[in-house]
Amino acid sequence: KQPHKKVKKNEIPLEFTILATHNFARASIMRLPHGEVQTPVYMPVGTKGAMKGVTYSEMDDLGCKLLLANTYHLAYKPGGDLLEKVGGLHKFVNWKHNILTDSGGFQMVSLSQLSEVTEEGVTFESPYDNSTMHLRPEDSIHTQNQIGADIIMALDDVVRTTTVGPRMQEASERTTRWLDRDIEAHKRKHDQNLFPIVQGGIDPKLREQSLNDLIQREANGYAIGGLAGGEDKVDFWKTVAQCTAKLPVNKPRYLMGVGYPVDVVVCSCLGVDMFDCVFSTRTARFGTAFTDNGFLKLKNKEAANVFEPIQKGCQCQACKSYTQSYLHYLIARKEVACHLISIHNLNYLLQLMLNLRQSIIDGKLIEFTNGFLQNWFKNEG
Ligand code: PRF
Ligand code: ZN
């Protein structure tokens, strides 16, 4: 039985109840329009309204309660109008739990060769055909209102993390100006939560300014953006810590694009509640599986002689039924192996978060983190 009591229904579509803390780390329940989410949480990414190699019903079986999708890709196909017509993305893909949509801001970096940013907004040339897409803050929010996710993201001006000088400052300040246009354009404040995104790169002064400006706007939750882009680990940790120290204690914090097992453990300790990353399924497609002792490359010929599962005790479909040897052999049959390893990696991260969360509740976060890190780096000598 959960020790929380039902909080009086207020007018916002998000309730965040902290059950236990350890220093900066928190174990919480986030109540959203499509049910409860236990945090810290890892959100699997189905960019185009589909997971690569995994169905939504399999995500449900893994216990996933909050998935990520991307406005840029969905706006291109099937388009906001169609999604609105069918009653939103939940209905379209038959997903009964929560969804978060990213705004499209990040594609300014990932599709930088094809995009142009001005104060008005961003214009993309399609990587698929010769169409162009104008994404102003108003357009991103309108499409996200049509998609109907439980959490929607502000359109931010994203530049590479390692950018320095006036362009970084411009991007950070423009993100705040765009946020005011996002808030103005947002038509579903009663059932969709708009999260602002803190920017400012790894410059403490710019981060501080961004934090101050965004916190003033009193959102239901906040994201930390502009990281995991090739910066030094120390700069990364310092910036995360600066943000979590300043963001309101009683609201969820989402660290965007971070999902390496070690990073989610360390950043949960720093007070982050939500993570997303394509890495778990992307790396699975290259034959790499997550284990307690680090990454396991199933393509390597050593795997041919291991007649044990990827991870002893793992309850996923791949580990319950197959040996590393068989998975190594299957990699030649790409789709099947990718599917099984993706399921394993997603299950691994979802379970890692649940175990970490339980350790916060049990007052054993230090033991958990020490044990996790010792095992993870065991083979690195
Ligand atoms: N902004 C948005 N999406 C993101 C990021 C960001 O800064 C990151 C961090 N690099 C990942 N995804 N809108
Ligand atoms: Zn497994």
- Residue 67 CB neighbours (<10 A): 26
Query: Does the ipTM surpass 0.95?
Result: yes
Where is pLDDT greater, at 295 or 46?
Answer: 295
Amino acid at 224: I
Instruction: Indicate whether residue 122 lines ligand 1 (CB < 6 A).
Output: no
Q: From ligand 1's centre to the CA of 208, what distance in Å?
A: 18
Q: Which of 81, 102, 180, 292 is flagged as catalytic? A: 102
Picking from 154, 186, 220, the residue whose alpha carbon sits closest to that of residue 10 is: 220
DSSP three-state, residue 35: strand
> Which residue's structure tokens are 């893909």?
93
Question: Can you tell me which atom of ligand 1 is nearest the CA of 257?
Answer: 11
Instruction: Indicate whether residue 376 lines ligand 1 (CB < 6 A).
Output: no
Query: Ligand nearest 157 Cα, by number?
Result: 1
Q: Is 133 a residue whose pLDDT tops 80?
A: yes
pLDDT attached to residue 335: 78
- Inter-residue contact 295 to 285 (CB < 8 Å): no
pLDDT attached to residue 110: 83
Q: Is 1 a residue whose pLDDT tops 70?
A: no
- Which pLDDT tens digit goes with each residue over 247-256? 999 999 999 9
Q: What is the mean pLDDT of residues 70-96?
A: 96
- Which pLDDT tens digit goes with each residue over 301-354? 999 999 999 999 999 999 999 999 999 999 987 778 999 999 999 999 999 999
- Which pLDDT tens digit goes with each residue over 177-211? 999 999 999 999 999 999 999 999 999 999 999 99
276 is catalytic: yes
Share of the chain above pLDDT 70, in %: 96
Furthest-apart CA atoms within the chain: distance in Å: 60
Per-residue confidence at 108, pLDDT binned at 50, 70, 90?
A: confident
- Which pLDDT tens digit goes with each residue over 269-313? 999 999 999 999 999 999 999 999 999 999 999 999 999 999 999
Q: From ligand 1's centre to the CA of 10, what distance in Å?
A: 30
Chain centroid to CA 132 = 27
Instruction: Indicate whether residue 106 lines ligand 1 (CB < 6 A).
Output: yes
Strands (E), the chain: 15-22, 25-32, 35-39, 41-43, 66-70, 98-102, 115-117, 122-125, 132-135, 151-153, 193-195, 197-198, 222-224, 253-255, 274-276, 288-291, 294-297
- Residue 215 makes CB contacts below 8 A (sequence gap 6+) with 222, 246, 247, 248
- Inter-residue contact 365 to 356 (CB < 8 Å): yes
- Inter-residue contact 53 to 30 (CB < 8 Å): no
Alpha carbon nearest to ligand 1 atom 11, residue: 257
Question: Can you tell me which atom of ligand 1 is nearest the CA of 199?
Answer: 7
129 is catalytic: no
Q: Is 156 a residue whose pLDDT tops 90?
A: yes
Instruction: Indicate whether residue 252 lines ligand 1 (CB < 6 A).
Output: no
- Residue 371 makes CB contacts below 8 A (sequence gap 6+) with none
- Inter-residue contact 14 to 30 (CB < 8 Å): yes
Q: Is 24 a residue whose pLDDT tops 90?
A: yes
Q: Which of 60, 276, 292, 362 is flagged as catalytic? A: 276
Among 158, 160, 207, residue to substitute to test ligand 1 (most atoms within 8 Å of Cβ): 158
Query: Ligand nearest 45 Cα, by number?
Result: 1
Where is pLDDT greater, at 6 or 135?
Answer: 135
Instruction: Indicate whether residue 198 lines ligand 1 (CB < 6 A).
Output: no
